[in-house]
Amino acid sequence: MSASDDFPHPWRWLAVWCALLLPLAILVPPIPIDETRYLTAAWEMFNSGQWLVPTVNHAWYSDKSPLLFWLIAGGWKILGVHTWVARVEALAIALGMLLTLRRLATRLGMDARGADTAMWLLAGSLGFAIFSTTIMFDLLLSLTVLGALHALLDLDAGKWWRGIVWLGVMTGLGLLAKGPVMLLAIAGVALLAPLWSDTARTHAARWYFAILAGLLIGALALACWLLPAAAYAGPTYWHPLLAKVTGRIAESFAHRRPVWWYLPLVPILLVPWLLSVRAPIAAWRGLWRGRQGRFVVCWWVPPFIAFCAISGKQVHYLLPLLPAWALAGAWLLRQPGALLRPGWFALLALLAGAGIAALPWLAAHQFGWHAQPLLALLALVACVVAAGVWRSWGRSARGLALSATALVSTAILAAVLAYLPALNVQPEAAFVKQSLDRHVAIAYIGWHNGLFGYSGRLHRPVPWVPYADVAEWCRAHPEGFLLAGDSHIAPQGVAPFRSWPYLLAGDRRLAVWRVADVLARH
């Protein structure tokens, strides 16, 4: 480790880290289907003034808790309705995670240099950098998890009332951020506390009573929203809410994956560190010894096993565990003989540069449009990163973290710009808005996840029709339009009136048909 890893005042370097990700926050449009759906929920909340129960396409949306929607809609109240507002909020939450982890490392006994290393290990990890500007719930959940862990350290220090109240606040916010998964993320550290806390061992009854009291405060905070929301929206809202909470555990209705699915993803999330950290065998063997090591084991092992057992899986579900791995890596790098060897990451950066250079032609081949060769110049950034890491940047946690962040930001920006016409649904949404404003009948075949609500700034829902009812709807609206994104449910044998490239459709397009043409053909 070099002396450059000692950062008593990291703010200027954190500002550089934010600046590297800022182009993503400003330039990237909402990515279907998740970000467009969440922004539509926030838009309908902002537009209607009804902030109690989230809606998507003006139907109750029981999949997620409302805290993220409140933050986005609140930001729009202050700054106006822009996508960058939500992305900058996500970046601010990610920055809060870095600073909260740094403080957590200090409280676990690390010196300032080790705490800074932990912060930079998290900042530079591939999984964290990718999601630092995404409009999703997992960053917000992860920040509340870190806050709850601070509450547990308060209890460990004998600050019982402060720990109980802070645990309740953080648990309540976590439940409002993403529901009961918050409890899963902190259960291991809280319930297995006698393994790492002398206070929990000597005052076990008091410890678990404090945990219970904190959780009750958090549940009460959730109930302050959930009970009025359930009463307002009725069974059509809370019945699906309960079904989704229980359904994801045993028999996922979405994102169902095998038990082992996360195992090959963990090394990818921890790039570049798994490629770069070198330490003696003795250091690896001692990784889980001592108070901090046992704390980290309790933090990530039980939730990771639970995440593997739960049928519904997505890679971003692991975000609350990344800080634990960063803490472990920081401890490892503080041991004698440990150092960073960035050669493999420099090679990876060169390979990424080759991929970035090929993206414009790959996108053109997939969708049949003209390539944008100027985008290939972004590959130069990857080459600069590779050379800089090889020469000097990769010998400190900070330098390697900033280099990895620059590479991730450039790669994402290149991919988004290369595929922009197939990602940005604003033209399609503008067509839908024009039809609705002119009172022309229009319907989407199948449920569309609020695809057009935010992008078109719609004030009315987009009607949708099940595939089995398409013929009846067409006969009732002979002058209307039909929209479809999936080729297997689109009208067959009829040329579309208009189409737009769309990445997520099986035939790579969203299309609209005149009902009159469909009726004439069938």
Judge whether 512 and 498 are in contact, CB under 8 Å.
yes
**Res 247: pLDDT:** 54
Q: Quickly tell me which residue has 């790098």 as its tokens.
A: 333
Judge whether 134 and 90 are in contact, CB under 8 Å.
yes
The first and second tokens of residue 19, run together, are: 């600046």
The vertex-388 CA angle with 385 and 390, nearest 5°, equals 105
Tell me what the pLDDT averaged over the chain comes to. Answer: 92
**Res 254: pLDDT:** 59
Report pTM: 0.93
The amino acid at 428: E
Confidence band of 144 (pLDDT split at 50, 70, 90): very high
Note the pLDDT tens digit of each residue in 435-454: 999 999 999 998 888 999 99
What are the E-state strand segments in 386-473? 442-445, 464-465
Q: Decide which of 11 and 512 is more confident.
A: 512
- Pairs from 224-229 (Cβ < 8 Å, separation ≥ 24): 225/52, 225/66, 225/176, 228/52, 229/52, 229/53, 229/66
**Res 493: pLDDT:** 84
* Rounded Cα gap, residues 407 and 390, in angstroms: 14
**Res 498: pLDDT:** 93
**Res 2: pLDDT:** 41
Judge whether 199 and 156 are in contact, CB under 8 Å.
yes
* HSE-CB for 359 with a 13 A CA cutoff: 24
Query: 3-class SS at 379?
Result: helix
Note the pLDDT tens digit of each residue in 20-40: 999 999 999 999 999 999 999
CA neighbor of 222 nearest in space, from 90, 66, 75: 66
Note the pLDDT tens digit of each residue in 259-313: 999 999 999 999 999 999 998 988 888 888 889 999 999 999 999 999 999 888 8
Judge whether 359 and 375 are in contact, CB under 8 Å.
yes
CA neighbor of 185 nearest in space, from 299, 343, 62: 299
The first and second tokens of residue 338, run together, are: 């440990």
CA neighbor of 498 nearest in space, from 417, 442, 439, 419: 442
239 has pLDDT over 80 = no
Q: How many CB atoms lie within 10 A of CB 123?
A: 29
Q: Decide which of 6 and 445 is more confident.
A: 445
Confidence band of 491 (pLDDT split at 50, 70, 90): confident
Q: Please list the residues that pair with 483 across neighbouring strands.
A: 444, 512
Note the pLDDT tens digit of each residue in 157-189: 999 999 999 999 999 999 999 999 999 999 999
Confidence band of 487 (pLDDT split at 50, 70, 90): confident
Task: Estimate to the nearest angstrom the gap between the alpha carbon of 118 and the chain centroid.
Answer: 21
Q: Quickly tell me which residue has 């032609």 as its tokens.
A: 361
